[in-house]
Structure 1
């Protein structure tokens, strides 16, 4: 197995929304805001080369929305999904599986492209993976979350016939070395990959813990649908990660790709940060 970091660029979101009830005087030390109270966040995906399968975990925000949409998010940076794949000798047609942790636009936007007047899957040879509970949640969104579930990012996947579901009730594995954890505080049935690699376990944090700055248990995003559920899920999974010496892989941390954990007087905190390629 080989793992590759796939950077798809940066965007900006409101710092207060990203840290919920935590005061700006605290979170601004680790994630400094600009004059508009916006913080920079990565959209970092992961490519898993496993035998004859090439699995892409999440896809970034994509580029098919209009200028008004993108004006809210201040996209920047030189990296893109295509350039990052090319850096490692791959292109979109090589992808056999697109594993979507959840269907929020900054995770699934790159899964669909616009060709003329048509919306079509960006990865023509891939199977797209979700799970029944999250799919139903995404295509029938509640009023609070509907702005994050854009039908143009989601429905073309189903219409293409390339969509398959993982059955959470049947077990927690995707492949032999690619396990799963299901969490529902941020959104219903978000999937966190747990990958065995070089005799280590790498937990892909998605939006359960977007960055190193979110490791303290009460640091929960205002975007989360069920904050107390997130709090309990974080406590359990960070405890599991500490006990088993997992490596955490961060999707949104603008600086840190990975970290290990240690127990401190203040709780579970960072032990060391590093790039995935340094493992």
Structure 2
């Protein structure tokens, strides 16, 4: 699936698929309500995607998030209900991109399903998957991930990100920092304290990658948040800010864990705040 955002060709690529507990994904929302939007298996798990964004403009080749990667043990793969292999490698080949072509990797946050593919196993040890890329991580996210403080560091796997620092490929960024012209990160907080969204703009067009602020298109609802969110109030607040901006500018929104609706536009709604429109499904 691809879009054209001004000078940017945007490809929505699979970083893998997995099964996840529905109660965790939808938090305080009763199952009798959320199950109408997404069926579950016999273990109460829902089938989710790990959408990544490849953006190319002839000068830069940018990857937003990396999926689960290829380092997980067979036991971990079974636990997460992962599909075989690591789809992102094949997806990149399909759209004519080699690992070496990517010069910029932006990670929304450092949980395993977003940053696992940032590093890979090599004969010499674990190192950056994309050898010519600089990896951009929010400064607060990095501090929390390496802190050892269990109140903020849960969900991180050190092999996914510590080798980036050791290789000299890591760049820490702050709220509203421009990575390359037309590509900006926005520290949202909410899901993790250093979680960041990504905004790509060109020629009065744009695409918003909100990451786990809204895991699926169903999470466009203000109260629909995951149980993993560290700051539920902040997640709910920032949804209104992000979706309001996307709606007012008619920007595309990527739903990074939505298998059936990877990208859409949104509009304001008088009764439901926002609604999904122009679904590319």
* TM-score relative to the length of structure 1: 0.92
Distance 2:153 2:140 in 1: 16
Q: Give the structure 2 partner of residue 131 of structure 1.
A: 138
Conservation of the 8 A alpha-carbon contact between 1:64 and 1:114: yes
Conservation of the 8 A alpha-carbon contact between 2:70 and 2:85: no
Alignment partner of 2:248 out of 243, 247, 261: 243
Q: Helix, strand or coil: the match of 2:212?
A: coil
Q: Helix, strand or coil: the match of 2:211?
A: coil
Residues 141 and 115 (structure 1 numbering): CA distance in 2 closer, same or farther, change over 3 Å? same
Q: Give the structure 2 partner of residue 268 of structure 1.
A: 274
Answer yes or no: is 1:254 the counterpart of 2:220. no
Q: Helix, strand or coil: the match of 2:141?
A: helix
Q: Which runs of 4 or more aligned residues in structure 1 lie more than 3 Å from their structure 2 counterparts after TM superposition?
A: 144-147
Answer yes or no: is 1:11 the counterpart of 2:11. no
Deviation sequence 1:193-217 (CA, Å, 0-9, x none): 1112564211012101111111110
Alignment partner of 2:108 out of 94, 101, 110: 101
Deviation sequence 1:127-186 (CA, Å, 0-9, x none): 111122111011114325544111111111111111112233xx4422221122210110
Distance 1:141 1:194 in 2: 30
Distance 1:174 1:269 in 2: 30
Answer yes or no: is 1:68 the counterpart of 2:70. no
CA RMSD of aligned residues (A): 1.7
Q: CA deviation at 1:78?
A: 7.7
Q: Give the structure 2 partner of residue 58 of structure 1.
A: 65
Deviation sequence 1:18-55 (CA, Å, 0-9, x none): 01100011111111111100001101100111332111
Q: Helix, strand or coil: the match of 2:253?
A: strand
Answer yes or no: is 1:195 the counterpart of 2:200. yes
Query: Which 5+ residue runs of structure 2 have no aligned equivalent?
Result: 1-7
Conservation of the 8 A alpha-carbon contact between 2:256 and 2:262: yes
Alignment partner of 2:215 out of 199, 203, 210: 210
How many residue pairs are counted as aligned between the two chains? Answer: 273
Q: CA deviation at 1:4?
A: 1.3
Q: Helix, strand or coil: the match of 2:213?
A: coil
Q: Give the structure 2 partner of residue 233 of structure 1.
A: 238
Query: Which 5+ residue runs of structure 1 have no aligned equivalent?
Result: none
Conservation of the 8 A alpha-carbon contact between 1:138 and 1:149: yes
Q: CA deviation at 1:98?
A: 1.1
Q: Helix, strand or coil: the match of 1:225?
A: coil
Distance 2:75 2:236 in 1: 34
Q: Helix, strand or coil: the match of 1:274?
A: coil
* TM-score relative to the length of structure 2: 0.92
